[in-house]
Amino acid sequence: MSETVERKKRILSGIQPTGTFTLGNYIGAVRNWSKLQEDFECLYMVADLHALTVRQVPAELRRHTREAAAMLLAAGIDPKQSLLFVQSHVPAHTQLNWILCCNSQFGELSRMTQFKDKSAKHPDNVNGGLFTYPALMAADILIYNADLVPVGKDQTQHVELARNVAQRFNSAYSPTFTLPEGYITKEGAKIMSLAEPTKKMSKSDTNLNAFILMTDDADTILRKFRRAVTDSEGVVRYDPAEKPGVSNLMMIYNVFTGKALAEIEAEFSGKGYGEFKDAVGEVVANALAPIQGEYARILADKDYVDGVLKDGAAGASRLANRMVEKVYKKVGLLQL
Ligand code: TYM
């Protein structure tokens, strides 16, 4: 009888330390990361190099990076199961980035909607890093031969590009990279702004009522949900095209209660938006409270957080350096 030991599939994902995470980051990505740890070999990364594509205040970036790591730990990333590290602590990512930049086309990078959006938002700083951002993201993924990349909907185009670059490299040289796939949940892959529900919820929104932060207290959460833009129909019904505000709130409620959309419609049938919004605010506040408690506890122990990140970087570097060495050889760089 032959026995094959299958290697667990590998997962990589990342998040930028550009401020406190929003409820969108949590629902679309981070919430799923901890769930995947049992069944997959997981690597999770604070993408500080990606954050530099927009001008950052250095002291704040440093603080946000440690806070991001603490929030990931609070949200359930277990360093005994997964590698948690900071992107710039594994220099191999930037080494592979260059090789992948040389294997990415101007045309495909120009088509990235995030590049177009961010260039429009920061017309005074359309830098080279913003343009080649997806090649660095491809390096993050391909350097570990990740099979799956759990992300929100807005990142799927980048994962697709990583796949195309991998395929191109493999056929130009020889099979080297695993072709990664995006892992996107049906529910909550795109949480919308509370103020303009046709736009994604984003921490860079200038309207502070547009997003819920993971650190918002219960009163703030309830207040923001009460102010959420809905419509004049007054009926709790799922219809993202006609009723984007209400549908977004229903999706958030669905994620935290596990209730199906039809069940939610029935629950609030004949009731006003006020009651519905309070119910959504309450389930969110209740879900975030234990994470916030853990976050405060973990963040107070800087040595613990830094220790986790050091171990994570060491473990990730071992894997990443091996891949860079292999790739350097394949492309013909002289090795002594
Ligand atoms: P970032 O930091 O913008 O977002 C982190 C994760 O949160 C998801 N997300 C959302 N999901 C649902 N609704 C929303 N409103 C919402 N807003 C954000 C994002 O889809 C993402 O999954 N480029 C990446 C970071 C990165 C990365 C990587 C990801 C760098 N290297 C390699 C995966 C693999 C980014 O800027 O995510």
Q: Could you confirm whether 190 is annotated as catalytic? A: no
In the sheet that holds 148-150, the strands lie side by side as 83-86, 41-46, 10-15, 148-150, 181-183
CB distance 255 to 188 below 8 Å: yes
Q: How is residue 80 written in tokens? A: 């005994």
Distance from Cα 24 to the centre of ligand 1, integer Å? 9
Q: Which of 18, 33, 154 to mutate to test the pocket of ligand 1 (most atoms within 8 A of CB)?
A: 154
Distance from Cα 159 to the centre of ligand 1, integer Å? 11
Q: Determine if ligand 1 sits within 6 Å of the CB of residue 154.
A: yes
Please state the atom number of ligand 1 nearest to the C-alpha of residue 158.
Answer: 23
Please state the atom number of ligand 1 nearest to the C-alpha of residue 192.
Answer: 15
Q: Determine if ligand 1 sits within 6 Å of the CB of residue 281.
A: no
Q: Determine if ligand 1 sits within 6 Å of the CB of residue 201.
A: yes
- Whole-model pTM above 0.85? yes
Q: Determine if ligand 1 sits within 6 Å of the CB of residue 95.
A: no
Q: Could you confirm whether 224 is annotated as catalytic? A: no
Q: Determine if ligand 1 sits within 6 Å of the CB of residue 180.
A: no
Q: Give me the catalytic one of 118, 224, 243, 277.
A: 118
The pLDDT score that the predictor gives to residue 186 is: 86
Q: Which of 15, 118, 204 to mutate to test the pocket of ligand 1 (most atoms within 8 A of CB)?
A: 15
The pLDDT score that the predictor gives to residue 204 is: 87
Residue nearest atom 4 in ligand 1 by C-alpha distance: 15
Distance from Cα 332 to the centre of ligand 1, integer Å? 34
Residue nearest atom 1 in ligand 1 by C-alpha distance: 15
The pLDDT score that the predictor gives to residue 243 is: 98
Q: Determine if ligand 1 sits within 6 Å of the CB of residue 10.
A: no
Per-residue pLDDT of the chain (336 residues; tens, 9 = 90+): 444 567 899 999 999 999 999 999 999 999 999 999 999 999 999 999 999 999 999 999 999 999 999 999 999 999 999 999 999 999 999 999 999 999 999 999 999 999 999 999 889 999 999 999 999 999 999 999 999 999 999 999 999 999 999 999 999 999 999 999 999 998 889 999 999 999 999 988 999 999 999 999 999 999 999 999 999 999 999 999 999 999 999 999 999 999 999 999 999 999 999 999 999 999 999 999 999 999 999 999 999 999 999 999 999 999 999 999 999 999 999 999
**How far apart (Å, rounded) are the C-alpha atoms in residues 107 and 212?**
36
- 320, with CB counted inside 10 A (0-12, 13-18, 19+), is buried
Instruction: List the Cα angle 46/49/55 in 5-degree steps.
Output: 115
The pLDDT score that the predictor gives to residue 7 is: 80
Q: Determine if ligand 1 sits within 6 Å of the CB of residue 25.
A: yes
Three-state SS sequence of the chain: CCCCCCCCCEEEEEECCCCCCEHHHHHHHHHHHHHHCCCCEEEEEECHHHHCCCCCCHHHHHHHHHHHHHHHHHCCCCCCCCEEEEHHHCCHHHHHHHHHHCCCCHHHHHCCHHHHHHHHHCHHHCCHHHHHHHHHHHHHHHCCCCCEEECCHHHHHHHHHHHHHHHHHHHHCCCCCCCCEEECCCCCCCCECCCCCCCECCCCCCCHHHCCECCCCHHHHHHHHHHCCCCCCCCCCCCCCCCHHHHHHHHHHHHHHCCCHHHHHHHCCCCCHHHHHHHHHHHHHHHHHHHHHHHHHHHCCHHHHHHHHHHHHHHHHHHHHHHHHHHHHHHCCCCC
Q: Could you confirm whether 9 is annotated as catalytic? A: no
Q: Determine if ligand 1 sits within 6 Å of the CB of residue 231.
A: no
